[in-house]
Structure 1
Amino acid sequence: MGKPTGFMEYERQSQHERNPDERTNDWADYTLPMSAEEIKQQGARCMDCGVPTCHTGTEINGVTTGCPVYHLIPEWNDLVYQGQWKEALKREHQMNNFPEFTGFACPAPCEGACVLGINEPPVAIRTVERSIIEKGFAEGWVVPEPPEKRTGKKVAVIGSGPAGLAAAAQLNKAGHWVTVFERHDRIGGLLTYGIPEMKLPYSVVKRRVNLLEQEGITFVTNTEVGKNYPVDKLKEEFDAVILCGGATVHRDVAVEGRELKGIHYAMDFLHANTKSLLDSNLEDGNYLSAEGKDVIVIGGGDTGTDCLATSIRHNCKSLTQFDIYDKKGSIRDALGNPWPQYPIIHRIEYGQKEAASKFGDDPRAFAVMTKKFVGDENGHVKEVHTINVKLRIDEEGNRIREEIPGTEKVWHANLVLLAIGFSGPEQGLLQQLAIETNTNSTVKAEYGKYATNVDGIFSAGDMRRGQSLIVWAINEGREVARECDRYLMGATVLP
């Protein structure tokens, strides 16, 4: 390593952020770039740890730790420290087709597995990753690289999220003709319509899509295979098909009053807002506005945080976020959550920072379960009734939430956003193609193989594994491309 004592000399510094009071007045990126010298110091903090665990992704107790795309993290950290930015960019792209997507929006399980994180703040891996790719684009180093030869084989990729885009990029490199079908009007899947503009600007997605188009990939929007594009035509025109449609069936809150007006899925709220913003800067009014409303977000994850940030920019009246889990400690539990597991700790994300700046306090209420919704005379939600809960593990290891008597509470609300995730993929296309599914409704296709029960049809990403991370989607997209290439050619040139 270029700086063996860097981790002792420099403190961790993650991405700079704009002032919350300022940034909530617009939809621009809420972060600020860091200087080359700052990034050099962060790269220098990477230890000569011998057996780096940051770049090998796995799951421990159902939670991801390390990097699922096996990023060459120690290598490009050192290269940045040495000032070899262009070489660092090559190492980034070697294992990840889209380091800008993970650099902007990945929760960085790599940092949870950082050896330095055992007793010090971990290396700011995601910040360095993002800085490398952004410098690459700024310097003009990221250019189209179309394949020299074409195989003549044609592959259809259904879905243009990170898994679909990664599969398309890799298959195109192998020389196949790739067509990506997207049912919405813009490419990107949840990258475009599931992550708000201030967190992952659409320009970042579009910049990469433009490159993929220049490399020879065909994108077809406003086209839903199985509805306005027949599956028979799909089978006739393509030599192989890869299903990357995601897991988009919403989880719901099955309680009294759920049918009331003013209760919406978080993703519907975010999708409509981003589409209206990109179409007309919100001037067309085709979105769910939180302006002047008492907003309650049910769900403590990233999507719930995105709903907070969006509601604030709408100028909501008040804002509360329900988290069914207890408030975590500021450091990981050495016994229940040891390194290298992803740290299950109390985090204050950008949306909570903005809410605290505007309303004076963190908007979250912990260990809260919704019991019922109450409406007004017009059938619109006006109250959310809750009770506090505690988690108990029974003798069989089952997690049971017990209600705590005397903790009942009534909250005023006229906009409720359900941000509790997704239960699995939609079944219509899968049924038309006669694809076998697992008991949880995901596509039955072995990890590492990705082949379905139907010859020539593969599946990857959330549609196969269930709701997961962007970085797992990229991992599976790359791997399914390898297996599809092997199917088409008898052998594969892809990693």
Structure 2
Amino acid sequence: MSMPTGFMDFQREVPADRDPLQRVNDWREFHKHMSDQQLQTQGARCMDCGTPYCHTGMEFENTVSGCPVNNLIPEWNNLVYRGQWKDALERLHKTNNFPEFTGRVCPAPCEGSCTVGLIGDPVTIKTIEEAIIERGFAEGWVVPQPPKARTGKKVAVVGSGPAGLAAAAQLNKAGHTVTVYERADRIGGLLTYGIPTMKLEKHVVDRRVNLLKQEGISFVTNTEIGKDIAAADLLKEFDAVVLALGATKARSVNIEGSDLKGIYPAMDYLNSTIKSYLDTNLEDGTYISAKDKNVVVIGGGDTGTDCVATALRHGCKSVVQFGTVAKAPEKRDQDNNPWPQFPNVYTLDYAHEEAKAVFGEDPRQFSILTKKFVGDENGNLKELHTVKIERYIDEQGRKIYKEIEGTEQVWPVDLALVAIGFEGPEATIIEELELATDSRSNIKARYGEYRTNIDKVFAAGDVRRGQSLVVWAINEGRQVAREVDKYLMGSTMLP
């Protein structure tokens, strides 16, 4: 516990962001940083709440409550308040291999379940988390820690996103020889190709990957298992295989005109920009550009929001983001969205704030359904037709959309970006190994066990649970490592 009355004596503060009109001209992270004194004051707001829901990591009513990796939040809040930064870092690394990632990109369900949030504003947990790990790097406290001995067991990890990296890190700690395979030209998976640099600059990913290399993990890029190397060959060469492929098969929009030129999956758009930026600072021109175009983003989630931010930096003529859900209330609905559920309230994300600064209004259109695309005589997209809808859930839990008569609208559009989620993992390895899948085409492996129907093969992260948060991927990567270690050695000391 920090100060008994800290949550009453001090107001919540979060770091200021760089001016939206300035930051749309570059690709750097948009957050500023708080002083040590400010951070210690925010740590003082963490109360003696008896049961700290912030690190429970529960799922219910389709929301997340608390931290999925069970971060010891009250402990390191207290240590920051007392100025014991190195001890705070040690507590943070006990549960989270990569706090520099979650401190930047996690939506912070821990803050949604903070007990202080019952009567006021929650503790500034996410900001303190990032500050602890960055202080650790700055002070030289984060150093390679290779295992003292090797077990002689070899493990292949397929996929280098947050689940794969967490699994590799933990298995290496246990003394196993780990090789990570990545089909892209850079390590990081979603962390590198998927999350724009405005939210996560890639030197942050490289910094951690270099540490993992120094600890003894081998990384193989530009290698797709199932194509460049047969999945069956991995089973012959390694004692265990962890599949952390992600859920990268994009859901398509199957409506009239969807084959027109100018319609792209959101991840193709984002990844082309990220790769071009990392390769040549966008000078090679190999990316899908939104410059001087009317852009429509179909999908109201984080991926769609990242498309808005990217289009603004390209210099789009206009940008609008469509979502089928209704506009969230200004305040938490205590009847339908009670604490400690993640609060569903209206906010401006970074990209929406930027679009409002550039064009004068929130770019989002709520409760709207795309009906058809229309092209010109050359097959180029020129307009998009929509209608307003009412959405409700029927008795079987299905989403039902009812169109509202008289709300049809036509939008001029040159570039449409489809960000309506993912259907599941790509099937190459699944089909080769004849892995069992669930009703959503994810690899079937029980949570907490992670074993597939094939001996030696484990699955974790989005490939098992479906599209989810980075923090859940880290959770599953850590847990699958524990199960693999137990499988290989008969017992485990991994947490």
- TM score, norm. by length of structure 1: 0.99
Number of corresponding residues: 495
**SS of residue matched to 1:157:** strand
Query: Paired residue for 2:61?
Result: 61
Shift of 1:60: 1.1
Query: Paired residue for 1:230?
Result: 230
**Residue 361, structure 1, aligned to residue 361, structure 2:** yes
Q: Which moved more, 1:110-119 or 1:165-174?
A: 110-119
**Residue 452, structure 1, aligned to residue 463, structure 2:** no
Query: Paired residue for 1:493?
Result: 493
Question: Residues 260 and 448 from structure 1, CA distance in 2 versus in 1: closer, same or farther, beyond 3 angstroms?
Answer: same
Shift of 1:399: 3.1
Question: Residues 182 and 395 from structure 1, CA distance in 2 versus in 1: closer, same or farther, beyond 3 angstroms?
Answer: closer
- TM score, norm. by length of structure 2: 0.99
Cα distance between partner residues in 2 of 1:298 and 1:198: 21
Cα distance between partner residues in 2 of 1:308 and 1:172: 39
Cα distance between partner residues in 2 of 1:240 and 1:103: 31
Shift of 1:395: 4.5
Query: Paired residue for 1:483?
Result: 483
Cα distance between partner residues in 2 of 1:76 and 1:69: 14
Query: Paired residue for 1:384?
Result: 384
Correspondence 1:30-45 to 2 at 5 A: 30-45=30-45
Cα distance between partner residues in 2 of 1:392 and 1:449: 35
Shift of 1:397: 4.7
**SS of residue matched to 2:53:** coil
Q: Name the Cα RMSD after superposition.
A: 0.9
Cα distance between partner residues in 2 of 1:175 and 1:231: 24
Shift of 1:232: 3.1
Query: Paired residue for 1:159?
Result: 159
Correspondence 1:29-428 to 2 at 5 A: 29-428=29-428
Cα distance between partner residues in 2 of 1:218 and 1:397: 45
Shift of 1:419: 1.1
1:434 aligned partner, one-letter code: E
Q: Alpha-carbon deviations, 1:64-122, whole Å to 9, x = none?
A: 11111000000000100000000000000000000011001000111111111112111
Question: Residues 416 and 136 from structure 1, CA distance in 2 versus in 1: closer, same or farther, beyond 3 angstroms?
Answer: same
Question: Residues 9 and 409 from structure 1, CA distance in 2 versus in 1: closer, same or farther, beyond 3 angstroms?
Answer: same
2:98 aligned partner, one-letter code: F
The percentage of counterpart residues that share the same residue type is: 61
Cα distance between partner residues in 2 of 1:281 and 1:63: 38
Q: Alpha-carbon deviations, 1:315-360, whole Å to 9, x = none?
A: 1000101111111111111000100111111121000000001001
Query: Is residue 193–residue 275 contact of structure 2 (8 Å, CA) maintained in 1?
Result: yes
Cα distance between partner residues in 2 of 1:492 and 1:176: 12
Query: Is residue 2–residue 46 contact of structure 2 (8 Å, CA) maintained in 1?
Result: no
2:14 aligned partner, one-letter code: S
Query: Is residue 155–residue 179 contact of structure 2 (8 Å, CA) maintained in 1?
Result: yes
Question: Residues 476 and 86 from structure 1, CA distance in 2 versus in 1: closer, same or farther, beyond 3 angstroms?
Answer: same
Query: Paired residue for 2:3?
Result: 3
Q: Which moved more, 1:124-133 or 1:227-236?
A: 227-236
Cα distance between partner residues in 2 of 1:265 and 1:458: 29
Cα distance between partner residues in 2 of 1:71 and 1:397: 33
Cα distance between partner residues in 1 of 2:117 and 2:233: 52
Cα distance between partner residues in 2 of 1:119 and 1:9: 14
**SS of residue matched to 1:149:** coil
1:441 aligned partner, one-letter code: S
| Structure 1: gaps spanning 5 or more residues | none
Cα distance between partner residues in 1 of 2:491 and 2:381: 58
Cα distance between partner residues in 2 of 1:105 and 1:368: 27
Cα distance between partner residues in 2 of 1:279 and 1:331: 44
- Shift >2 Å, 4+ stretches: 392-399
Query: Paired residue for 2:463?
Result: 463
**SS of residue matched to 1:31:** coil
Q: Alpha-carbon deviations, 1:34-70, whole Å to 9, x = none?
A: 1111111111111111111000101111211111100
**SS of residue matched to 2:371:** strand
Query: Is residue 64–residue 342 contact of structure 2 (8 Å, CA) maintained in 1?
Result: yes
1:261 aligned partner, one-letter code: K
Question: Residues 40 and 298 from structure 1, CA distance in 2 versus in 1: closer, same or farther, beyond 3 angstroms?
Answer: same
Q: Alpha-carbon deviations, 1:351-382, whole Å to 9, x = none?
A: 00000010011111110100000001110111
Cα distance between partner residues in 2 of 1:393 and 1:236: 48
1:188 aligned partner, one-letter code: G
**SS of residue matched to 2:54:** coil
